[in-house]
Every structure is written in C-alpha cells, then in structure tokens.
Structure 1
Amino acid sequence: METYDYIVVGAGSSGCAVASRLSENPDHSVLLIEAGGPADDFWIRSPAGMGRLFLEKRFNWAYFTDPVPAAKARQIYWPRGRTLGGTSSVNGMVYMRGHPLDFDHWASLGNEGWSWRDVLPFFIKSESNSRGASEYHGDVGPLRVSDPSMRHPTIDDYLRSADTIGIHRVGDLNAPPYEGADFHQHTIRKGRRETSYTAFIEPIQHRKNLTVLIRTQIMRVVFDGNEATGVEVSQNGERRIIAAAREVILSAGSLNSPHLLMLSGIGDGGMLQQYGIGTRAHRPGVGQNLQDHWFGPMIWRTTVESSYNRTLSGWRKYLEGMRYLTTHRGLLSMSVSASAAFARSSDEQARPDLQMVLRPVSYTFDPKGAVVVDSFPGISAGIVLLNPKSRGSVALKSADPLTPPAFQPNYLSEPDDGRRTVIGLRRMREIMASEPIASRIVAEQMPGPGVQSDEELLDHIRTIGNCGWHQVGTCKMGGDDLAVVDARLRVHGVRRVRVADGSIMPTITSGNTNAPCIMIGEKAAAMIREDALPRRVIRS
C-alpha cells in the first residue's frame, strides 16, 4: 500500500509550514495533499490581483453561508483558497500576528504552551522581515514580510489625523505597544505575492522525502478502531486509500477540517447518525465555535490626487499593467489594504477591539460580484470588530464528501458586536474630520451624511457590512466538553490524527489571521517531531 510517515491534508497557510518542517528530517516521508491545482497564475503572483481572484473558481472554493438573520437574511460570500498556498494565494496579504493578550487568553483556558511568550518564537522563526532581525522579528525564515514599496500621502495624512484624536502613530503594528496606527506590512517578496507555498514548499520541493499531490480530494480519514491509519482520496475520478505510518494532520482550514472530521465519524453523534455516519468519537464541539471578523464599510469622495482610482481606471490601468510586467513595481505590486489604526471602543476593553483599515482606493462590486474601481476619486475604509462575541457553526448537509456543509456564522447575533462597530464608525468619522486628511475629503459617500443615529448606522452595518474572511475556531483547542483538540493539537477520542490550522483557535486573534495560521503550522510541526510516535506496521 502507498505509505508515508505523515500525511498533511491541505496545502494552505498552516499545511505548507507543517509539511516543510516535518520533511526537514530525511528519515520522515511526508505527503502533502491539495484539493486544488497549481497557483501559477499572473493574478495570483501580482499582489493587486486579489480582486480578480474573488470569484475565480479555479482557485477558490467559493462558499456561501446560509442566510444570516441579523444581516438582513443575506447569504455572505466566503472565498477560500483552493490551490497550492490555500487562502494565502487569494487573500489581502496583510501580516498581522494579533495581540499578546489573545494568546495569553488561550493559555489561561488550559492550553499549556500557547501563551504569547510561547508562540512568539514561532512567529519569528517563520519570518524574513525586510526590516531585519530584532527582539520581535526574524530575518532568516522562509516567509518574506515587507513594507509597502509606495506610500500614498493620503495614508500619511490619515495616520497624522488619527494621532490628533489620540490614536498615536507607531513604528510597528506587530511590536509593543500593539496599539496605534501605521502602514501594514505584507507578505510580498520583490513585488510578488508570497504564499505559504512559495515560502515553505517551493524552495524545498526537490526533497526526496516530500511528495505533493494536487487536484486530490480527501473523502475521509481512515481508522482501525480509534487509531487513524490513513486517508481515502479521490483523484482523477478514482478512489484509493493512502496509509499513514505515523500521523494524519488535517490542515484543510476552519471550514473543511471540521467537515472532514464529521465525514470520518468524529462529531456530534446525533447529527452523524442523521446522515448514516457511524460515530467513532462523540465530540459535539466539531463545527461549533465558528468566529469571524465583521466590518462596516465606508467610502469618501476625495480630491483627485488623494486617490489611486484615476490611475486604476480607463487607459491608465494598462500603463500600470505594463509597468508591473517590466519592473514588478507600481500599484500592481501592492496590497490595497495599506494601513490600519488599532483602538479600543471603550476604556473597559483590555486590548484594541477595533481595526480601522484605510485604503487609498475605493471600489464596489458589480452585479456578478466582481470588484470594480469607482469612477470618482475615492478612498475606502473597513471598521473591523476584532473580538466578536457572536458564534456560528459548520454542520453537515449530506454524507457525500463533495457536498459542502452548511455555514451559519450568526454575525451580529450578539447586540454588543453591533454596538461596538457603530462606535468604530463614529471614531473613523472623527479621524476623517481632522486635519490634515480633512482637506482631502470632498464628501462622505457611504454610509453618507444622512446616516447619523446609532440605529441608522447599525442598519448600514446589517445591510452593507461584510466579513473579514477570517473564519476560525471550529475545532477549538482545550479540555472542555466542546473542545476538539488538546494543547498538542491531538483530536480528542482518537489517536494519530491532529488538526493544525485556524480552526484550533479557541478565540479569534485581534487582526488578520494568516500570520497566526502560519505560526500554528510551525508550532504543530515542532510538537509532532517532539512527540515522535512510532511507525505503525502497515498491512496491505
């Protein structure tokens, strides 16, 4: 039987890190399995291509949620990467680790080894920061993290205006005081998107002990009793079983990892029984605890020179395209999410709970969902609630592995989430009314000056608001009845199977989640090597 020591399911942000680190030991054979195909595409390589990838099903699972009651029964579109690199191949490339108190909270819940002091070395290990090595950054890791190659003066004015209302300019959003305003850093290398695949796998793909399978769908984890023995896959329409002599590691993401556990008989026994799936381990928390960041969008009309809109419209956008093709510089070499101000909605908050992102461009979605730059000079913002109280779920709809599960995020189901987001909208208006950025503003386009009361602003959030596409928490780490994995990421109730991706987060981190997912992959690989389970004897 085809056999590997370790089978890693999902070549995304966490999975690529796991497979790369495990294969550093030449005595370990590692198989990395990806449902999608190669990520060798111009719009993936060019950082500004994110808008083109939003609906591109060649690289995207293109999920939709169930109707969300508190968001006007809207079905929210969830793009998730389905290609080498996973969602790191289609995301906004913002490098944010979160707040130290996020991880200290994980540890306080009984997850030994997950405090900020414990995880910081793994962030540093993964990173090659353009600023060089320091107490908080690494410069020899595989993942390139860089400052923006161009800094629009509008963003500088935004940061100065934020400072005037008490949100002070800081030199690094990923270092103390972990609060304030600055330009984002991004996972961009020499004008090209840096994915987990280009960082962790591409440079070492020559290793003889590492195999990468693409366009291969996982059907289920295979067990002998309560011990994982491999995975069943479908490739080119044919099913087969691949054996794991040591462990199976699920890194399929917060939407697909719980689905795979359910298909394998691990989940709420009552739900599994409804679909004719035998219960191997009754873990009612599988698929529960779903969390995501919700944001309120804002747009302002500006003076012409205050926005990139004109440069990205009409014939000028083709000049930008030529510039990128010949130099890998210019607007196509950058992420649209230029900057953020991290602030607290009230003094009672222990850490910033608002991330106020400003972009020197504005855009809307056409009827087909494609991103279209606005015809007028404009800038846009997203007011992100960092620690929502609302919780959702992932649930089976069928025993067929090719039928996506049901996603119910329950955005804004907790009234406090809407209340604090409204505070964020008001704080953003305060910044934009302050000099020097106020001189660049012509008018507020969205939600507009007619929207003033808390009730009107909340209705705007419910009607136009969207998510950060940062789904986490559905296989949470812990020791309580709803926990799915322990602090070593081993699935409760079975042996030789772990989960290593954003689904293990007990609570969502305070910012974009790609960097924490990479850290989870780094830490998971270290734990797997430390635990070093003996090889099983494989019988055909």
Structure 2
Amino acid sequence: METFDYIIVGAGSAGCVLARRLSDTAANRVLLLEAGPRSNKFWVHTPAGMGKLFFHKELNWNYFTEPMPALRSRKMYWPRGKGLGGSSSINGMVYIRGHRDDFNYWKSLGNSGWGYDDVLPYFKRMEHNERGEDQYRGVGGPLCITDPVVKHPSSHDFIAAAVSCGIPYTEDLNGEVHDAVGFIQHNIRAGRRHSAYTAYVEPILMRENLSIRTGCFVERVEFRGHEAVGVVIIENGHRRTIRAAREVILSAGALNSPQLLMLSGIGPATELRRHQIHIRVDLPGVGQNLQDHFYVHASYATTRRSSYNNHISGIRKLWEGARYLTTHKGYLALGSSQVAAFVKSKPSEPYADLQISFRPMTFSYLESGRIEVDPTPAVAASVYRVRPSATGAVTLKSSDPTHPPALTPNFLNHPDDIGAMIFGIRKIRQIMSAQPIASRIISEKVPGPTMESDDQILDYMEQHGNSAFHPAGTCKMGHDPLAVVDSRLKVRGLARLRVVDASVMPRVTAGNTNAPSMMIGEKGADMILEDAVP
C-alpha cells in the first residue's frame, strides 16, 4: 500500500499552493490528488479563453443549484474548476484580496492569527507584482500579478464618471484604500493565465518528493479511530486506499470539501442518518454557512470605438487571434473585467458592501451552452453584495460519492440583500449617465429603461440574476456550534485531518475569492509544517 506523509485532496487554488510549500521540505513525501485531468490546453492558457471553459465537459464540474424559490424556482448553473489548477484554471483571473476588515472580522471570532496584519505577509509572499514592492505589494513570489495589457478608453471614462459620482480613485485596489474605484490587476504572466498550478506546481514538477495524480476520484477519508490515516480513491476504474503518515488535507473547494467530509461520516447527524452513513463525528456546521456573491449585470449599447466587441467577433477576431499568437498581447490577453468600484449601499455600512465591475465588451450565453461575444458595440457593468446576509447549505443527494452534492445558496432570501442590490443597479445607472462615460452610451440594453421601480428591478433580478461563482464558508473556522475547523484549520474532534480552502472562511471576502483562497493555502502550509505531527 502506498504511503505519503501528506495527502492533499484537490489541485485547486489552495491545493497547488500546499503542494509547493509542503514539498519545499525535501523530507516530506507529498501526494496531490485531482479528480480532473491535466489542464495544459490552449484555451486554459489564453486569458480570453475563459468563455470556452465555462461549460467545458472535462475541466468543469458543471454543477447546478437546487431550484430556488426566491428566483422563480430556477436552477442556477454553477461552474467549478476540475483539473490541475481547479477554478484558477477557468476563472476570470481577477486578483482582489478583500477588505482589511474582512480578515479582522475573522480574527474577532476568536481565530487568532487571521487578522489583516497577520495575513498580509502571506499575500505579499505569493506575489510577483509588476508594479514593484511596497507596504502592500510583494515581489519574488510564484504568482505574477499584472495590470491589463490594454486599458481601454471606456474604462478610463468609467473611472472618471465614478469619481464624479463621489467614489474616490485608488491606484491599487489591494493597497491602503479598498473602498474606491480603480483598475483591476490579474494573475496573468506575459499574456498567459497564471493559475495556481502554473505558478506554484509546474516549476517544481521534477521534485522527487512530490507526486501528482490526475483522474483520481476520492471517495472518502479513511480513519483509525479518530485519526485520519488515508483516503480511498477510484483510479482507472479501480478502488484502492492510499495511506497518509502525517495528515490528510482537504482542498477540494467550498462545494466538494463538505461533501467529502459528510461521505466520510463527518457532518450533521441528521443528514448522515438520512443517507445511512456511519456517524464518525457529529459536526452540525459541515455544509452550512454557504455564502456566495449574487450577481446582476447591466449592459449598454455604445458608439463603435467605445467597445472592443468588434475586435473579437466576426472576421476581425481572426486578426486578433493572430495578433495574440505572435505577441501574447491585445484583447485576447485580458482578464474578465477591467475596473472595480467598492461602494456602500447605505451610510450605516461599516465599509463597502457592493462591488461594481466594468468591462468594455459584452457576451451572451447561447442555448447550445456556448458563449459568444455580442456582434454590436456594447459595454457592461455588474454588481454584487460582497457581504450577503443570506446563507445556504451544501447537503448530500446520495451516499454515492459520484453524485453531485445538493447546492442551496438561498439567494435573495434576505431583505437587506434585496435592498442593497437594487441600490447597486441604481448606482450603475448613475455612473453610466455621468460624463465622460455618458457620451459613449447610446441606450441601456438591460435591465432596460422601462425597469425603473424597485419591484421591476427585483423582477429582473429574480429572472436574470446569477452567481459570481465565489462559494465559501461551508467548513468555517471558529468556536461557535457551527464551526467545523479551528484556527489551525484542524477538523474538530479528529486528528491528522484539515480543511484548507475557501470553505474555511467564516464570512466571504469583499471581492473575488481566488486570491484569498491562495493565501489560505500559504498560511495553512505554514501551520501544517509548524505543527508537524510524527
């Protein structure tokens, strides 16, 4: 039977970081398991290829939520990365850490070592920022952080319009001032996606103490009493057990990590009994506290030079493709959004609770499952509430590990979320009607000028609102009855088992979640090495 010191389940944003940092110690034998395939594909490396990966049959789990009563009983599509790099290999590459008070809130819950001043060194250790090093940015780390290779004139005008509406400007959304408007940085290196895998693992593939297995489906964690001693996997149609001499670490993400815990007998007793799963530890919080950013977008028809739709659609996309292949520059080298603005929905909020994002292009989802750039000039702005009041749950559909979990995010189930989102749509309209961006706008396409009252905007959100695909919180750290892990990320009531991914966030961060997920991997690796069990 194979034995490794550390088994990491999931080669996503946190898992790849763990694999790098744990294998930095030559004496550690590390195994990184991934259910999906290798992700060395052209559209993975090409930033604009994210649209090609949205419904990818091999590199995506292609999940759907349960029907949501507050959203007309819609089932919402929920993509999750499946392959080396996880969601960092299919996402929009936006690099936003979150507000300093996100982390101070985590610490206030009794999670020592997780305040902003504690985690900032880990963010800096991750980075090689093209702007250079300062109090907030890092250089020399594995992950390249860069500015958009093309800063479109419409993006400059959106920023200027936002400033005229009272939103301060910042040079660095990850710097001293978070509640502001400015250009977004991305994890893109020389015009290519810099995923957690390409940044952290690809450069160390020759290490003899690191093994990487793709196509390995983990069924459950194996225990001896209350100690995790390995995992049961299915590989090439065969079931077998691999032993962990030190620890098993779950980094399967906020949807799959709680599922795997429950399949291993760790979770709410009522849920486990419902599926005839032997109860190892009754942990009521496993799968609870599911948080995500509910997202609504608006789009505007513009003058021809105000959008780059025409550059990446029709016959001109061939020229743009050739430009990218020869230079790795141009519109195909851009991340999903160019600008972000963080604003309060009401003065009583302690800090911004809305993120508004802008991009000088638009696309549509086709019934075939494809995503296509719109053929006419247009720009888009979106909004989501970064600290949602409503929470949901991840539960089991079956004790069969090959069945997807039941995902119930409970979007728009709280009046505070509804009110904030309506304010956000109105704030987008205020910015888009201000100069200089207003001179580029021909008309509002969606929600459309007829959607004016609160009830009409709510109706639009119910029909067309979506997930920003930032699930978190389902194995949260803390000390309350729903806490799953402690501040060292150890699963409560068990030994040699940790969860290290976005599921441990007590509350989701203000912004895109890839950067904080990688930071959790960095800090989690240090904790594991410090605690080094025999």
The TM tier, using the shorter chain, reads: over 0.9
User: Residues of 2 paired with 1:385 and 1:373: CA distance?
Assistant: 26
3-state SS, counterpart of residue 290 of structure 2: coil
Per the alignment, in what secondary structure is the counterpart of residue 429 of structure 1?
A: helix
Mapped partners of 1:273, 1:457: distance in 2:
42
2:61 corresponds to which residue? 61
CA distance in 2, matches of 1:120, 1:336: 25
Q: How does 1:20-419 map to 2 (within 5 A)?
A: 20-419=20-419
Distance 1:70 1:509 in 2: 24
Determine whether 1:472 maps to 2:472.
yes
The 3-state SS of whatever aligns with 2:298 is: strand
In 1, distance between residues paired with 2:388 and 2:143? 29
Q: Do 2:314 and 2:375's aligned partners in 1 also have CA atoms closer than 8 Å?
A: no
Q: TM-score, normalised by structure 1?
A: 0.98
Paired letter, 1:15: G
Q: 2: distance between equivalents of 1:463 and 1:366?
A: 16
Q: Residue 291 of structure 2 contacts residue 472 of structure 2 at CA under 8 Å; is this kept in 1? A: yes
Deviation at 1:381, TM superposition (A): 1.1
Q: State the one-letter code of the partner of 2:306.
A: S
SS at match of 1:173: coil
1:489 maps to which residue? Answer: 489
Aligned position for 2:529: 529
Match of 1:514 in 2: 514
For structure 2, the residue ranges without an aligned partner over 5 or more in a row are: none
Contact preservation (8 Å) 1:324, 1:332? yes
Check whether the contact 2:262–2:272 (CA below 8 A) recurs between aligned residues.
yes
Q: Whole-Å Cα distance in 1 between the matches of residues 197 and 372 of structure 2?
A: 29
Identity between Structure 1 and Structure 2 (%): 51
Over residues 220-245 of structure 1, what are the superposed CA-to-partner deviations in whole Å (9 max), with x where a residue is unaligned? Answer: 00001110000001000001100000
1:501 corresponds to: 501
Q: Could you tell me which amino acid in structure 1 is paired with residue 77 of structure 2?
A: Y
User: Alpha carbon RMSD of aligned pairs, Å?
Assistant: 0.7
TM-score (norm 2): 0.99
Contact 1:287 1:393 in 2 (8 A): yes
What is the alpha-carbon distance in structure 1 between the residues aligned to residue 282 and residue 519 of structure 2? Answer: 29
Corresponding letter in the other structure for 1:256: N
Question: For residues 355 and 368 of structure 2, what CA distance do their matches in structure 1 show?
Answer: 29
SS of corresponding position for 2:310? coil
Stretch moving more, 521-530 or 361-370: 361-370
Tell me by how many angstroms 1:269 deviates. 1.2
Match for residue 453 of structure 2? 453
Distance 1:154 1:269 in 2: 54
- The runs of at least 4 aligned residues of structure 1 exceeding 6 Å deviation read none
Distance 1:70 1:270 in 2: 26
The residue type paired with residue 43 of structure 2 is: W
| Paired residue type of 1:116 | Y
Pick which of 223-232 and 368-377 moved more. 368-377
CA shift for structure 1 position 266: 0.1
Partner of 1:19: 19
SS for the counterpart of 2:388 is: coil
Q: Which residue of 2 aligns with 1:441?
A: 441
Q: Do the aligned partners of 2:36 and 2:83 also contact (CA within 8 Å) in 1?
A: yes
For residue 231 of structure 2, give the secondary structure of its aligned residue in structure 1. Answer: strand
* Separation in 1, partners of 2:116, 2:531: 22
After superposition, what is the alpha-carbon deviation per residue over 1:98-135, rounded to whole angstroms, capped at 9, x for unaligned? 00000000000111110001111100011111111111
Deviation at 1:371, TM superposition (A): 1.4
The one-letter code of the counterpart of 2:372 is V
Which is worse superposed, 375-384 or 99-108? Answer: 375-384
Asked whether the equivalents of residues 336 and 360 of structure 1 are also in contact (C-alpha less than 8 Å), the reply is no
CA distance in 2, matches of 1:176, 1:349: 19
Letter in 2 for 1:253: G
Measured after TM superposition, the shift of residue 336 of structure 1 is 2.8
> Would the aligned equivalents of 1:419 and 1:458 in 2 still touch at CA under 8 Å?
no
Deviations 1:482-519 (A, max 9, x none): 11000000000111000000000000100000000000
- The equivalent of 1:424 in structure 2 is 424
Aligned-partner SS, 1:486: coil
> For the Cα contact (< 8 Å) 1:267–1:284, is it kept in 2?
yes
Checking the alignment, whether the CA contact within 8 Å between 2:136 and 2:176 is kept in structure 1 is no
CA-CA distance at 1:369 after TM superposition:
2.8
Matched AA of 2:112: E
Over residues 300-332 of structure 1, what are the superposed CA-to-partner deviations in whole Å (9 max), with x where a residue is unaligned?
Answer: 000000001111111001111111111111111
3-state SS of paired residue (2:254): coil
Give the secondary-structure state (helix, strand or coil) at the position aligned to 1:138.
Answer: coil
Give yes or no for contact 2:170–2:181 (8 Å, CA) kept in 1.
yes
CA distance in 2, matches of 1:68, 1:99: 30
Q: Is the contact between residue 254 and residue 502 of structure 2 (CA under 8 Å) also seen in structure 1?
A: yes
What is the CA–CA distance in structure 1 between the aligned matches of 2:39 and 2:416, rounded to whole Å? Answer: 40
SS at match of 2:253: coil
Deviation at 1:192, TM superposition (A): 0.2
**1:215 Cα deviation from its structure 2 partner:** 0.6
Alpha-carbon distance, 1:347 to partner: 1.2
The code of the aligned residue for 1:379 comes to V
1:9-54 C-alpha deviation (Å, 9 max, x unpaired) = 0000000001110000011110000101111111100000011100
Deviations 1:364-413 (A, max 9, x none): 11112321212221001111111101111011111111011111000010
Which digits, 9 at most, give the CA deviation of each residue in 1:393-450, with x for residues without a partner? 0111111110111110000101110110110111111111111111000000001111
Whole-angstrom distance in 2 between the partners of 1:336 and 1:245: 42
One-letter code aligned to 1:453: S
Count how many residue pairs are aligned between Structure 1 and Structure 2.
534
1:336–1:361 contact (8 Å) kept in structure 2: no
- 1:64 partner amino acid: F
Question: What amino acid maps onto 2:106 in structure 1?
Answer: W
8 Å Cα contact 1:165-1:431 kept in structure 2: yes
